[in-house]
Amino acid sequence: MHSKTRTALLLLAGAITVAGCGGKATGSVGTGTDAGLSPNVLAAVPDVAVDEIDSLLAGFDETLAELDQLLNQAAAALAAEEMEILP
Amino acid sequence: MTMKRLTTVALAALMLATVPGAALAQETATTERPTEDRQAAVAEREARWLDALKTRSLEAIEKRLATIDDLEGAINRSTTVGTGHADQLLGELRASAAGLEALAGDIRAAGDLATLWELIPKIFEDYRIYAVVAPKVHLVLASDAAGAIAGRLEETTGTLGDVLDRLDEFGIAVTDAELLLAEMKELVASGAASAVAVPGMVLNLTPIDYPGSSETLRSAQSVLQSARTDLRAAGDTAHEIVRFIKNAIGGGDTT
């Protein structure tokens, strides 16, 4: 291969590699189905983000249970209207 | 049931609960006495009725004061009630407590049945602790709690959206998750709108709004149930999106 052509191909390959790192992922990363994801993807979704979501959702069921309790109290209070006439 | 009928039933309940046995026994014992004795017996009987009615009325007031204490405790323990709502509710509860205590003083001081007869209906009609105040407090507390949950979920939609954007930048197919996120946002918005509507429906209800207030309170309860349903669904959707993200990061199936 002519040296100028070889150099151009090497430069093109380098450009593709750089573009791949900064933009859309290629290969296994692109499908998202392979076991090994690029470290770039892991860096894109750092643990802190996942932890943040986890912590936001962690207390959700408990908080909703508290809301249910308040709703039950409201229902009981509405049902107790007859106490108004039975001193 | 009309207000007049409620009052009549309340008064009848008081009378039946306090005096029938004693009254009947007294009537039988006095039928053959001279007039003077009968008058004395009637006076004695009325004095007993007066005392019995006072006792029952004061018990009814005490029960309401205890309920007011419970409601104040619930407001003070709430971590989600809005300051404005708490201030308004606590102010109304304190005014009711002061009014009932003053009424208790009037009842204690009443010297005859006619005066007492005028005071007793005030226990119900002027305060409506069970028909209006207690449901109102509980509904406002629940609506503010629902609003707080909606706020947390809204915050979560922002974080989830950011994470999905980052995954998308790396070519991971996130269309399904984005659809779930859009659905979640709608549920959160709907739940929040329902929750925030409730205080406006019930906060300004007063004892004079009874009995029409009952329908309003039940409507507010229904709106709040709807908020709860939306927020539950939004939370479930959020969990589903988080599972998607964790699968994507861990290399699992992202479809």
Whether B174 and B160 have beta carbons less than 8 Å apart is answered as no
Whether A74 and B136 have beta carbons less than 8 Å apart is answered as no
Contacts of A68 in chain B (CB under 8 A): 228
Q: Which of B142, B145, B169 sits opposite A44 (nearest CB)?
A: B169
> Which of B249, B253, B255 is the best mutation test for A, with the most CBs of A within 10 A?
B249
Give the per-residue SS3 of A14-43.
Answer: HHHHHHHHHCCCCCHHHHCCCCCCCHHHHH
pLDDT-derived band at A11, boundaries 50, 70, 90: very low
Average pLDDT over residues A1-23: 33
- B151-169 pLDDT, tens per residue? 999 989 998 998 899 888 8
Phi-psi group of B2: left, alpha or beta (phi > 0 → left; psi -120 to 50 → alpha; rest → beta): beta
Task: Give the per-residue pLDDT at B102.
Answer: 98
- B46-88 pLDDT, tens per residue? 999 999 999 999 999 999 999 999 999 999 999 999 999 999 9
Contacts of B119 in chain A (CB under 8 A): none
Tell me the CB-side half-sphere exposure of residue B123, using CA atoms within 13 A. Answer: 33
Residues 134 through 173 of chain B touching chain A, CB cutoff 8 Å? 134-135, 137-139, 141-142, 145-146, 148-149, 152-153, 155-156, 159-160, 162-163, 166-167, 169-173
Question: What tokens does B225 get?
Answer: 């149930």
Task: Give the per-residue pLDDT at A51.
Answer: 75
**Residue B9 near chain A (CB below 8 Å):** yes
Q: Give the predicted TM-score (pTM) of the model.
A: 0.77
Range from A56-70, B62-76, B94-108 carrying the lowest mean pLDDT: A56-70
Locus of tokens 């309920």: B67
- A13-61 pLDDT, tens per residue? 333 233 333 333 333 333 333 344 556 666 666 666 677 777 777 778 8
